[in-house]
Structures are given as structure tokens and as C-alpha cells.
Amino acid sequence: MAVILQSLPQEAALTKIEYEGPRIALYTRNPVYLMQNSQLISNMVNSIKKRIVIRTDESIRKPKPESIDIISKYIPKEAGLAAIHFDAVVGEAVVFAKKPWMLAQVGEDFDNVDLADKTGWRVRIRKAPHSMAAIDNFYRILDESVVERTKFYREVGDKIFRDKLSEEAEASLTSLGGFAEVGRSCMLLSTRESKVLLDCGINETAKDPLSSFPRFDVAGANMSEIDAVVITHAHLDHTGFLPNLFKYGYGGPVYCTEPTILLMEMLQQDYVKSGRALYSDRDIEKCMVHAIPLTQGIVTDIAPDIKLVLSNSGHIIGSASIHLHIGNGDHNLVYTGDMKFGKTVTLENAYWNFPRVETMIIEGTYGGKEDIVSPREEAEAALAASISSTLASKGRVLIPVPEVGISQELLVVLNRLMANGRIPAAKILVDGMIAEATAVCEAYPEFLSREIRQVITESEQNPFGQISIADDVLPEGPLIILAHSSMLFAGPSVSYLKQIAGDNSSKLILVSYQAVDTPGRQIQEGSRQVVLNSENVSIQCQVERIDGFTSHSDYNQLMAYVSRLRPKLRKVLVNHGERPKAQNLASSINKIFKIQTQHPLVQEAIKLL
């Protein structure tokens, strides 16, 4: 605080310095001065090695209706103003426009000095997606929790920036789920100072409750003892148990990217509607209120002895690998989460250039030596040929996919194939969840590939095509349907499969990972009699499996990822894979790279330091 006060002249009009979670917030009555002299802040950050953010003092912020009027007059009509949302906790007004390129680079601070001066709010610009439902709901929750979040941010800051209790470094990891299996990813990192949970998912396909949820009974920590939760991405096998933490007493922060906050809320709400969740909408909203969005690539203190950096993992929009710096340079841990080491149409390649890593936890979904995915060109050619033959016979094509990830990738690919004449023109229908998830992608293009980002932020073209939502009853073909769930154990994909199952001119195309004991896995392995929602169904439609669109790394990509890291790893732990695949990947890494490897089971503890 002394350094900050000495660094700022009187013109900065500083009113207070507060903790804002992992950041230090400087409140000012003259934001224009600090916006025009940003080097002052950069120098302070370099000096104290903490994240500093500038906030406008509440006393200069105009009321929201007046600010909306000022901003609306400033934004040219051609930009297509769709909505203005406010976050009073951080003093930001977020403008959603259909043509954001007319205003500023999407996702960046608009930092219009004139607007900040006239309204007292800092303005950000975002692309207005085809549907604002998820975003409107997000800001509704933020608006209803201003007092709670303000208090919460201060409390989090007090805990993070307290003095250390001990200078001795010690760290261990307890596997609570997601080891030697796919589903319920969850692990607890414990040091002398803190306890941090990495992911908190469920296994939707498990039949035994002991295999469905993380094993907190062996964690050795009460909810009140957990200092932070860090989430890699939104899929339920990584976030589906999170609301239960708040239901049973957790009150700390959840760190992830901003798209992950919106997407996990969407997926958790859908899970509640299915009737299988052990929590309510209120518990989900608590997650949202306690979520602190982080920018990828920025070092953030999350405990007195732990710093966090999130990096793109290439799996779905907003997905991140977690890099934890423990102690005073004592140990560096990277947890890849679900990771794609290979550029796709919609996402950039997973980040790998970490300055230092001693221990890496890497996924092994496709860790078997036989798990070599077809090159993308071959996969697209196979998809085009398969769809074309079905559409030509007036059939319907059903592709079961996750709500987020492959679904958006396929939307871009299918629209391109049609535009290039490689498949006949036909209607593409998606379920409502996929449509809403795609809207989040449109609003956060900075998390997408450079090519797709450029299309969204610099043109009126929508790379995902015209979004048409499927009704409960499918029309006759020819048409293409993308629907969740990808493994056919629940969701609209099950209903749609029942509708085409008896039609041998229609086709089911499997492109996603199919977990053991799911209908999707049974069909993939040749079964044509399956149980769908307690009903025996005969599969008489055509079935085809097409590799190459997975959002996970295959065996070669996983091995290439490990080989790329410098300096050499000391230890590798393999998780998120069926036991034989995790064992194989661990063995291969050990033999080829001479690195100590383990493939732990759930409930195991591993000493890191």
C-alpha cells in the first residue's frame, strides 16, 4: 500500500485501496488520468508483483439509466447496439453490439476516455450473439449479488494476502475422482498453507453412487478448509459436483475463464432439469456469485503460497490447463485438464511453452497405442461422403455430440462443406442447449482460433451458420441433426435416435468418445439392441463411426506434447482415461522419455514435495 501511495500523484484522485479477490483494486475519482498514464500502473505491478486493477469510485458513477442514455447516443446506429449490462462490483459497463468492429477490439478494454469521464463507468465491448439468454441471466445474477460479492472479494483478498504461517514447502495430491476412469475429475492439492481443489465433476454414466461423485470422504478436509477451487472447463465430468460444495458449506472462490462460468451454469441447470442432480438452482447461483474469472496467461495469487496461470488447452471454448507455482519457486505443477494438442477449426493448439514444470498431470482418454485418430482431411472427407449418401436417399443424419466443443466444430465444418458443394444443401438442426452454447462462443471470440475470431469480430458472417433449433418431433429428411448427449444415455439425442432407429435410409454417425457401458459404446461395438431411457430399441438405421473430430489428444499427440516440454519433466501422473489406457500412456512416457510416471487410482495420495 505504501508503494502504491508513493507512486501515484495527487492528480490520480485515489479514494481507497481494496482487495478484489486475487487483485488489488485502486478506486479513483479521476479514471481519465490513470487511463492516460497507464505506465504508472505497469511500474507498480512490476514493483509489488501483484495484480492491480483500476476501478472508478462509486461517487462518480452515473445511475444506470443515465449511463445507458449516454452510451447509446455515443454508439453509432450502424454498430447495432443489442444490450448494455453493468457490473457494479468492478464498475464496468459491457456493451453488446452486432458490429463490434466499428467500436473496438472485442474482449479488450474499450477505454474510451470520453465515455469514462461522462458516465463514471469503464466500458467494454462484446459481440452480440444470436441469443442473449445466457448472458442476460449471467448479469442478472451479478446484479442481484452486488453486496454479497463485494464482501466476498474482500474476504478472499484477506486470505490470499495474509502472512505465511510457515516458510517450509510441502505439497501432496489426493485423487478424489477421474483416475483410471473417465468422469468425476477431482483432486485436492494440499500444502502447509492451503488446500486447493482442481476440478469437481461427476460421472453421469456410473451406476454406483460411490463411483458417480468425488470421494470427499477420503479427502481429509471439511468444506470450510478448502481455500479455492480451480476449474479447467465447463463439461459436467469436471464441474457437475461443484454446486454440492456450496450446498454443504463451501464459501470460497472458483477460478476459471469467463466463458466457463456461463457454460457450466448452463450445463448444471440442464442437469437439475433432468432430475438427477443433488442440488438446486440456488446452489448453482452460489457458484456463479463465487466465480472469479481469470484471463489466460496472467499470473494470479490464489493462496499465500500458490500462484496460478491458466493457459489454453484447446478442448472447448474457455478450457484451460492449470499451472500452479507452489512456494517460493519450490515446485511447479501443471494439470492439463482435457487437452487437444493439435489445432482445430474453432480452437488454437493447446499451450505447451511453460517456463518450468516439475510434475504434470496429463489426460489419457486416448492413451492406448491403438488410439491414433484419422487426419482431419480424411475425417472431413469421410463425413462428407457419409452424409451425402444419406441425404441423397432423403434420409436423416443424427450426430450425437456434447453441448459444447465438437458441436461448434461440426457446425463450422458442415456449413463449409455445404458452401463448397461437398455435401448437398440441407437444413442443419441443433437442440436448444447447443444453440445457447454456440451463442457463448459468438460472444467470446478471443477464446477461439484466429481465423474464426477474425470472422466474428470483423464481419457480419456467422461461421456457425444459421442456427435452427430442432422441435421435439423431427421433420422428414433430408436433414442433419446435432443433439446432446454424445453417449446416448440421456438428452434429446436419445429421443431423436428413437425417431430414426427404424428407418434404414437414415443414419447415426458417432464422432465423440463413448464411455464404457453407455448405449453409444454398445452401438459403436456392434450391438443393435439397446436400452434407451428404459425402453428396448432396435437400431435398424445405418450406423457409422468417424474418427478425427475428437476434442481430446490421441496417443501420438499426447506423446508429442510431453516431448515438447522444456526443461524435462520430473514426474508425470496420468488421469482421465480407462485404466488400460492410463497404464499404457504412463508406461510409454516412462520408457521413451525416461521420466518417472504413475497412473494412480481414485483415493490415492501422491507426495509432490
pLDDT at 104 exceeding the cut of 90: no
- E strand or H helix at 483: strand 479-483
CA distances from 594 to 508, 563, 587, 589 (A): 43, 11, 10, 7
* 93-107 mean pLDDT: 81
**pLDDT score for 516:** 87
In angstroms, how far apart are the furthest CA atoms of the chain? 78
Angle, alpha carbons 205-211-216 (nearest 5°): 130
Domain spans of the chain? Answer: 2-58, 60-143, 169-369+552-607, 376-545
Query: Contact 547/534 with Cβ under 8 angstroms?
Result: no
- Are the folds of 2-58 and 60-143 the same? yes
**Please, what's the b/e burial string for 64-84 (b: 16 or more CB within 10 A of its CB; e: otherwise)?**
beebbebbeebbeeebebeeb
| Fold annotation for 376-545 | Rossmann fold (3.40.50)
Average pLDDT of every residue of the chain: 94
**pLDDT score for 114:** 84
pLDDT at 40 exceeding the cut of 90: no
**pLDDT score for 167:** 82
Rounded Cα distance, 79 and 406, in Å? 31
CATH class of domain segment(s) 169-369+552-607: alpha beta
Reported as a pLDDT band with limits 50, 70 and 90, residue 105 is: low
pLDDT at 108 exceeding the cut of 80: no
pLDDT at 147 exceeding the cut of 70: yes
- The DSSP call for residue 460 is S
Residue-wise pLDDT for 551-594, tens only, equals 999 999 999 999 999 999 999 999 999 999 999 999 999 999 99
Angle of helix 146-160 versus helix 133-143 axis, rounded to 10 = 80
**pLDDT score for 475:** 95
pLDDT at 183 exceeding the cut of 80: yes
List the grid coordinates of 269. Answer: 441447470
Residue-wise pLDDT for 488-521, tens only, equals 998 999 999 999 999 999 999 999 999 888 999 9
* 274-291 mean pLDDT: 96
Residue-wise pLDDT for 207-225, tens only, equals 888 999 999 998 888 899 9
Angle, alpha carbons 159-162-168 (nearest 5°): 110
Determine what percent of the chain is predicted with pLDDT higher than 90.
Answer: 86
pLDDT at 273 exceeding the cut of 70: yes
**pLDDT score for 304:** 95
Residue-wise pLDDT for 319-353, tens only, equals 999 999 999 889 999 999 999 999 999 999 999 99
Determine what percent of the chain is predicted with pLDDT higher than 70.
Answer: 99
pLDDT at 228 exceeding the cut of 80: yes
pLDDT at 547 exceeding the cut of 60: yes
Query: Per CATH, is 2-58 categorized as 3.40.50.300?
Result: no
Quick one: which of 289, 226, 292, 282 has its CA closest to 254?
Answer: 292
* 105-115 mean pLDDT: 62
* 152-167 mean pLDDT: 93
**pLDDT score for 483:** 97
Question: How many C-beta atoms lie closer than 10 Å to residue 376's C-beta?
Answer: 15
Question: Whole-prediction pTM value?
Answer: 0.96
The DSSP bridge pattern shows strands 195-200 and 427-430 to be unpaired
pLDDT at 150 exceeding the cut of 90: yes
**pLDDT score for 111:** 56
The CATH number for 60-143, chosen from 3.40.50.10320, 3.30.300.20, 3.30.499.10, 3.40.50.2300, is 3.30.300.20
